Structures are given as C-alpha cells and as structure tokens.
Amino acid sequence: MPIRWFSKVFGRRDGAACREPAQAISGACRAATRGIDCPAVPDVRIKVATSLNAVPAHAWNACANPAPSAPPRLADGRDRPETYNPFISHEFLSALEDSGSVGGRSGWTPAHILVETAQDSLVGAAPSYLKTHSQGEYVFDHAWAEAYMRAGGRYYPKLQVSVPFTPVTGPRLLVSTGADRTAVERALVEGLRALRAETRASSIHLTFLPPDEGERLAGQGLLLRTDQQFHWFNEAYGSFDDFLGALASRKRKAIRRERREALGAGVMVEWATGRDITEAHWDAFFAFYMDTGSRKWGRPYLNRKFFSLVGERMAERILLVIARRAGRPIAGALNFIGDARLYGRNWGCLEDHPFLHFEVCYYQAIEFAIARGLSCVEAGAQGEHKLARGYRPVTTVSAHDIADPALRRAIAEYLARERRHVAEAAAELADATPFRRAAET
C-alpha cells in the first residue's frame, strides 16, 4: 500500500518530517527510485521527484501540454480552451527550481507526484510542493492556519499543488494523451494523500483548477472553493478601435483619455518577444519588478536568474512590454503566450505616470491579443478596476483536502457560505461591465 511505502521511505513518525520537510522529501526520492504499486489503479507505480531535473522534459510536457486530438473552438467565437499552458511546462517550472526561486529556504520544497506504467512510461504528474507558509499562492488560507494553530493544531507543512507565484488557471493533475484519465487522476490523488500522511502535512491544496478538474476532485472527496478574477475576451475584434466600439460611449471616451495621458510626456512603448528579448531587457524589467514588488509585499518572490533562465527556455512564449521615456526604460509588464490566451504576470515601474499601469498591463495586452488572434487576456489576480477597462468577471476554482475531521467540517461550512457570496458578487459585477446595452446599439 502507498501509506506503508511512504512510511518506510520517510522512516520516523515523531514529527521530524514536519520540522525538516526538505530533508524528508529528499530522503523519500533517494529511497524510492523504483516507486510502489498503486492497488487502487492496476499496472501503475507512484513516485516522488524533488526536482524537475529528475524528469525528462519531453515526458513531463507530454502530460502537461499533450497535443489535442482536434483544436476545440466554442461556437460563439468568444473563447476557446487553451491547448498550451506555459506555466505547467517543464521549462517554466524547472526555471523556478534552477534559479533557486523555489526550493532551499524558500518554503517551497518540490515534491512532484509521478505516475508511471510498469514499462517506466510517465502517464501522470502533479506539480506539488511541501510548504511551510502560505505565501505566493493567491488563494488565501492564512485565517485557516491561524484558527487551527490557536486550537492547538499544526497547519504547516501543507502540500500545495500549483504553479508557484502564478494565479493562472490550468491543469494540476497532468495526464498524457491515451492514458486512462480517471485512473491516473485517482492514482495522483492517492499519492498526494499518502505523502500528506507521512509528512504529517495538515492538508492538500490544488489551486487555480479548470472547473471540470475541480468537479472530478470533488467526486474524490475534496472541498471546492471559488474566487474571482477578471479576463478580457476577444469577440473577433479586428483592432483596438473595434473593441472600443463595443463599449458604452462614456467608457470608450474614458479609455481613450487614459491612453493619451499614459503616453504623454514623451513615453513610448515597445513589444519584445522571442529573439528580440535581450539581457538588457531583463536587467531593466528586474529593476521594475524589484522596486514595485518591494513596496507592495516586502520581498519579491523571483530572483534575477529566473528571468534569464525562462528567457532562454521559452522566449517565443514571452512578451515583454517596455515603456521608455527619453530612451530610458521606466516601466514594463511580463506576459506569457499560450495557444489561445495571453497571460499577464508581473509589472513594475521606476517612474509614476498617470494611467501608465493600465496602458502597459491592460491596453497593450489587448492590442497584442487582437494582433495575434488570441481569444483571451488573463491579467492576474484581484482588481475590480479591470472591469472598467473591458475585463469581465470570471470564477476561479480550487480544491482542498483536509486531514483533521474537525478542521475539515469548519472549512466546509465556511466554503459553502463563501461560494454563495462569490456567486452573488459575480452576478453584480457582470451587470457593471462597460459594454453597450441592447438599447445603445
């Protein structure tokens, strides 16, 4: 059984694994090179990897971004499912690890769950981390941790199945094409639960899930949580002016005024992607990122090395929007490019100019998406101010598996109330979009 195997691998059950999660998981991988059989799912074995470097990139990517059998497109043309999510790729996740942005003393200890066939073929994976805090997740459980610790419990470590520092929806239980999705997902959840038990982690958190994946996890007994983001959808616009034409007159005029003021004082904007991105670009962007990040949350999560590594490994999937004044870089936004979506990730500036944030992060992203034929722009977490800029409310989903029955009951009651509140807020926000009403057409 997996529980027995993890017990053998981790050895001690006196809480030492909780105090030293990195050492415990590292020991697990060293001892478990062959993995164990999964009784609930015949003919597969479960392993743990403490680094993406232990997993061939092609094998991981075959699970993370398998080629679709046919590119799907919704009938209304407004949105289409993503066929390539850059953040779950081996290139992105390994850049986080190789740069030291995760691992070490970061509080994010890699513990990726792998599912292999008897022939050592990887058919499933989950990007998983043993965590000693709740930073960099964007699905906030600080109140849960505080309440549990006040009651005498130990909330950390916990298992986090996510992309570190990245509030972007995407698959978390990764399954290769042709594999039995139901069986592989069951094996991944079994592996996560076994790892949670043997590290004495309080819980498992799978965040920013596709809704269908969330529903399947609810079927395995996990608790669902919802929240709100704001995304821009491309209604087959031919230009930015076409998009503006869909807005109410007052909102259209406001955006035009914001763009004029943002680009006043001689500010120019450039796009850099692919081979056009240089180390000078990354030097400038890192200065923006550090200045703004240090003022907003104290210690930015990503280091300078990360940007060079991710630039080397996936430059064609990156868009840097750089604002310059008198030739000097003064602000910038980092975006990643999927097959269907543009993902706004980080922003920073060295000079304050009215509406420059909106121009660089939101309006330039819309222009790029229209030019590339992308169906959606995801502009990160939170931010009702995005609504007035043509971004629509979208519900996000996470799933949570809580070990302590009393804590689980309390969280389940809380989540039921929270889901109702999120749904009510979404309905109100949908009525507040800047788009023209039928009477205005």
Q: What is the pLDDT of residues 354-375, one digit of tens each?
A: 999 999 999 999 999 999 999 9
How would residue 258 be classed by pLDDT, with cut points 50, 70 and 90? very high
Lowest mean pLDDT, pick from 67-71, 89-93, 128-132, 250-254: 67-71
- Is the separation of the CB atoms in 63 and 78 below 8 Å? no
Tell the burial category of 254 from Cβ atoms under 10 Å away from its Cβ (0-12, 13-18, 19+).
middle
Query: Are residues 291 and 283 in contact, defined by beta-carbon separation less than 8 angstroms?
Result: no
324 in Cβ contact with 334 (< 8 Å): no
- Model confidence at 113, pLDDT cuts 50, 70, 90, reads very high
What's the one-letter identity of residue 80? R
* pLDDT tens-digit readout, 418-435: 999 999 998 998 888 899
Averaged over 194-211, what is the pLDDT?
A: 95
The CA distances from residue 316 to 82, 99, 311, in Å, are 17, 20, 9
The torsion defined by the Cα of 214, 218, 223 and 227, in degrees rounded to 10, comes to: 30
CA–CA separation, 114 and 124 (whole Å): 6
CA dihedral 334, 124, 189, 27 (to 10 degrees): -90
CATH of region 235-374, choose from 2.102.10.10, 2.60.40.10, 3.30.930.10, 3.40.630.30:
3.40.630.30
On the question of pLDDT at 23 being above 70, the answer is no
Tell me the C-alpha distance between 127 and 113, whole Å.
7
Q: What is the pLDDT of residue 44?
A: 87
2-228+395-430 matches 235-374 in fold: yes
Q: Residue 243: pLDDT above 80?
A: yes
pLDDT of residue 248: 94
Average pLDDT over residues 11-30: 44
**DSSP assignment of 158-209:** EEEES-TT------SSEE-TTS-HHHHHHHHHHHHHHHHHHHT-SEEEEEEE
Residue 17: predicted pLDDT: 37
Q: Structural domain boundaries of the chain? A: 2-228+395-430, 235-374
∠ CA 379-382-387, nearest 5°, is 70
Q: Which fold has domain 2-228+395-430?
A: Aminopeptidase (3.40.630)
Note the pTM of the prediction, 2 decimals. 0.90
